[in-house]
Chain A
Amino acid sequence: MSCQGADCRTLLRELCDFLDGALDPETAQRIEAHLRQCDDCRALVDTTRKTIEFFCRTEPVPLPEDLRRRLHDLLASRLGRKEPS
């Protein structure tokens, strides 16, 4: 990052809480004001937010059929003989 100022370091330190909306209002407003002035920090916030979103919204791949069959056969054989304790 080209800017190494105090506000850039504050942004980096508080990045997770800022993205999660977990900052106190005063710190959040200070960071938002900094983002309006700093292209690098704004790009960092935006690309980190997109990174999280990609992982969150990607649906898991369905289980391979052989694994699904084995899992259900195992559950049927193991659980079919017992009640929940």
Chain B
Amino acid sequence: MKSDQRVPQDGPATTPAAAPDDEAVLVAAARQGNLEAFEELVRRYESRIFRLAYNITQNREDAEDVTQEAFLKGFEHLPEFHGDSRFYTWLVRIAVNEALMKLRRRRPNELPLDEMIETEDDLIPREIVDWGPTPDQRYEQAELQRILADAIARLEPPYRVVFQLRDIEELPTEETARLLGLSVPAVKSRLLRARLKLRDLLDRHFRGSDRRELPGS
């Protein structure tokens, strides 16, 4: 394994969602070399890991490679998984490291690791429009998926990665910071920008009929 390919060690529980009851049984069997048990784990999580990889890399070929490598390394390093977190959370850490390596190779200048904390001055929305209670019901599911995917793709990588980890994978701020080599304030700053940018991108689709032009906007 290359020196920059970190496989995270098992850590504290991080994801609030409960694991399926038989996951521990499957993991234990896979640790004994039972390929069928591991393939069942792959089937459960392949779509989520692929989505994570695609959302970060925005490249299908890279996302396929990341998905494959994440599961291969997951199997090879199963002895290092001690069950203190969900298996999926552990797998996410591996996949994120793989995806970040792909991203850095393709776009070496787009994932800065500096600790610059942006101010919120340029984040103030010029116009706030209520979306109503169920704005998503205006769209078919496939169209909604396309809208969300397009919005994620338009986020710059530093914000896209933080949003993926914090809001979609539901990793805690501290663990997100550790995975990305950032400080907690930097993660919070990027998450705020990511959320507001995505809100703006969705706004054009979801804004209701009670649009209010604000004075001075």
Q: Taking beta carbons and an 8 Å cutoff, which residues of A are in contact with B?
A: 1-2, 4, 9, 12-13, 15-17, 19, 39-40, 43-44, 46-48, 50-52, 54-56, 58-63, 67-68, 70-72, 74-76, 78-80, 82-85
Known: A54-B144, A76-B35. A12 touches B76 (CB 8 A): no
Contacts of B46 in A (CB 8 A): 63, 68, 71
Contacts of A85 in B (CB 8 A): 76-77, 79
Q: How many A-B residue pairs have CB under 8 A?
A: 128
A51 to chain B, nearest CB (A): 5
A and B contact pairs by CB, cutoff 8 A, 29 listed: A1-B124, A2-B217, A4-B124, A12-B120, A12-B123, A15-B196, A19-B195, A40-B214, A43-B129, A44-B128, A47-B128, A47-B206, A51-B199, A52-B195, A54-B136, A54-B202, A55-B198, A56-B167, A56-B168, A58-B144, A60-B50, A61-B51, A63-B46, A63-B47, A71-B42, A71-B67, A74-B72, A75-B35, A76-B39
B104 to chain A, nearest CB (A): 24
CB pair B135 A75 closer than 8 Å: no
Chain B positions 48 through 82: 1 when the CB is less than 8 Å from some CB of chain A, otherwise 0: 10110000000000001001100110011111000
Contacts of A78 in B (CB 8 A): 72
Q: Taking beta carbons and an 8 Å cutoff, which residues of B are in contact with A?
A: 30-31, 33, 35, 38-39, 42, 46-48, 50-51, 64, 67-68, 71-72, 75-79, 120, 123-126, 128-131, 135-136, 144-145, 148, 152, 163, 167-168, 170, 188, 191-192, 195-196, 198-199, 202-203, 206, 212, 214-217
CB pair A60 B195 closer than 8 Å: no
A75 to B68, CA, bound (A): 8
Contacts of B50 in A (CB 8 A): 60, 63, 67
In the complex, the chain A residue whose C-beta lies closest to that of B51 is A60
